[in-house]
Amino acid sequence: MEKNNRREFIKTVGVGAAAVGAGIAASAVPAMAKKEKTFRWKMCTTWPPHFPMLGESADKIAQWVDEMSGGRLKIEVYGGGELVPAMGTFDAVSQGTVEMGHAASYYWAGKVPAAQFFAAVPFGFNAQSINAWILSGGGMELWEEVYSKFNIKPFLAGNTGAQMGGWFNKEINSMEDFKGLKMRIPGLAGKVLAKAGGSAILMAGGDIYTNLERGVIDATEWVGPFHDLKLGFYKAAKYYYYPGWHEFGTAFECMINKDAWNLLPDDLKAIVEAATYKSNIWMLSEFEAKNNAALRELVDVHKVQLKEFPKPVIKEMRKLSQEVLEEQAASDPMFKKVYDAFLAFQKNIYGWNKLSEEPYQELKKL
C-alpha cells in the first residue's frame, strides 16, 4: 500500500472506530445511569443511639452497605426515640415512614404473637440452633409469611447468645418468691412470669436502670454480663441469677419495608442481605468474647451475688412455659403453625445435640 493511501486508510479506520466507540458509550449511558442510582434510607431502632453491640450493630449494617455498594445505598440510623418511639419501630417500617428497622421480634408480641419465635421463647433454641432453624430449617419462610401482611421483609441480624436470668432485689428460693414481683421481661417469658404470680413490664433498654433504682420494678432481665455491667444494674439490684431460662440465644432482626425493598436492584439486595449475615455473626462473637470478663468484674470488683435458680424453680418455669405456648397456639392459627414447625425442628436438632454438644460438655469436666 502506498504511503498516501495507507495514511488515508488509517484516518478512515480511526474515524470509524471513534464513531463506533461513541455509539457504544452513548448506548451505555442509560444502563450506567440506572446502575449508579443512589438510594437514601432511614433505619430506626429500639436501642439507645449507638448502644454497644445492639445499636452498634445497626450502625455497622449501614456502614457495610455503604462500603459494599460504593455509596449507592446510604442508610441513616436513628436510635430509639430519635425519629420514632423505640416501640414504634415495627409500625414505622410497616407503614413506610422509614425503610428499615432494627429490633427484637418479641417486642411485637401484642401485634404479631408468632413473631416471638424468631427472637426467643422460654426453653427454646440456643444461638446455634436458631440460626439453623431460620436459615436452613424453614424458619425464614415462616417468618416471611408472618410479616407479609404487614408489608415487611425480615432478616436475621444478630444474636446475644445465652442470657442471664436477671437482676433481683430479693432472693428467689421458691416459686412463692415470684408472687407480686414486678419484673421487666418481654415476650412469652412475661406471660410465664404472670402465670407464676408476677407482673411483666415491657420497657425500652434506656429506661430500665432508673425504674429499677426507684423501685418501679423489683427485677429485670436484659442480656448478659457485658451489657449489665455497662448499664450499672449492680448499683440497683443485689442478686444476679442464672440460667436465662427465658432466652437461651436471642436473635435480632433487621426489618425492611417491602415497597422500598422491591425498588432496589438485585445487586443492592444481595449487599443488604450480606450485611445482615455479617451482623448476625459479628454480634454473637462480640458477646461471647466479652461476657466472661465482665462477669468476673461484677463478681470480683462489685461484689455481686451470683446465684443459680433452684432446680425446682426451673422445673416449674418449664412447665408453665409449655402451658403458655399451648394456650397461645390454641387461640392463634398462625402461632400454632409456627409452633408446630418450631417443635419439629427442636426435636430434630436436640437429637443431634445429644451426640454432639452434650458429650462435649461432659468431656470438658474431665
Same-domain pairing of 260 and 304: no
d(CA 74, CA 63): 8
CATH code at 78? 3.40.190.170
Same-domain pairing of 58 and 193: no
* Residue 358 binned pLDDT confidence (cut-offs 50, 70, 90): confident
Query: What pLDDT sits at residue 21?
Result: 44
Q: What is the pLDDT of residues 116-165, one digit of tens each?
A: 999 999 999 999 999 999 999 999 999 999 999 999 999 999 999 999 99
**How many CA atoms within 13 Å lie on the side-chain side of 347?**
5
* Residue 35 binned pLDDT confidence (cut-offs 50, 70, 90): low
Domain boundary among the residues 262, 288, 314 is at: 288
In a domain, 333, yes or no: yes
Same-domain pairing of 211 and 257: no
In a domain, 147, yes or no: yes
**pLDDT > 80? residue 245:** yes
H or E stretch at 58: helix 54-68
Same-domain pairing of 113 and 198: no
**pLDDT > 80? residue 46:** yes
**pLDDT > 90? residue 10:** no
In a domain, 8, yes or no: no
d(CA 183, CA 277): 33
What domain range is 140 assigned to?
A: 39-160+249-288
Q: What pTM value is reported for the model?
A: 0.86
- Residue 180 gets the label, from left (phi > 0), alpha (psi -120 to 50) or beta, of left
d(CA 264, CA 242): 44
Q: Mean pLDDT, the chain, as a whole number? A: 90
**pLDDT > 70? residue 20:** no
Same-domain pairing of 319 and 355: yes
Query: What pLDDT sits at residue 29?
Result: 40
d(CA 323, CA 321): 5
In a domain, 306, yes or no: yes
Closest CA to 67 of 59, 52, 285: 59
Please give the tally of structural domains in the chain: 2
Q: What is the pLDDT of residues 90-101, one digit of tens each?
A: 999 999 999 999
In a domain, 23, yes or no: no
Same-domain pairing of 46 and 87: yes
Domain boundary among the residues 232, 262, 288 is at: 288
Query: To the nearest 10°, the Cα dihedral for 317, 321, 323, 325?
Result: 180
- Residue 187 gets the label, from left (phi > 0), alpha (psi -120 to 50) or beta, of left
CATH code at 317? 3.40.190.10
Closest CA to 234 of 166, 308, 302, 307: 302
Cβ–Cβ under 8 Å, residues 116 and 75: no
**pLDDT > 50? residue 328:** yes
d(CA 233, CA 326): 34
Same-domain pairing of 173 and 60: no
Grid cell, residue 180, equals: 407480686
Same-domain pairing of 298 and 155: no
d(CA 6, CA 58): 65
In a domain, 34, yes or no: no
Same-domain pairing of 142 and 48: yes
User: What Å distances lie between residue 21 and 13, 14, 17, 85, 288, CA to CA?
Assistant: 12, 10, 6, 55, 56
d(CA 251, CA 243): 17
Query: What pLDDT sits at residue 207?
Result: 85
Query: What pLDDT sits at residue 14?
Result: 47
Same-domain pairing of 263 and 240: no
Those residues with Cβ within 8 angstroms of residue 301's Cβ, 6 or more apart along the chain or in another chain: none
Exposure string (b/e) for 198-229, b if CB count within 10 Å is 16 or more? bebbebbbbbbbebbeeeebbbbbbbbbbbbb
Grid cell, residue 345, equals: 425442628
Amino acid at 363: L
User: Which residues, in sequence order, are bridge partners of residue 43?
Assistant: 77, 100
* Residue 26 binned pLDDT confidence (cut-offs 50, 70, 90): very low
Closest CA to 163 of 117, 252, 225: 225
Domain boundary among the residues 257, 273, 288 is at: 288
Grid cell, residue 45, equals: 431502632
Same-domain pairing of 318 and 280: no
Q: Cβ of 248: how many Cβ atoms within 10 Å?
A: 21
In a domain, 13, yes or no: no
d(CA 366, CA 357): 15
Query: What pLDDT sits at residue 224?
Result: 96
Q: How many residues does the chain have?
A: 366
Same-domain pairing of 179 and 268: no
Query: What pLDDT sits at residue 104?
Result: 96
In a domain, 19, yes or no: no
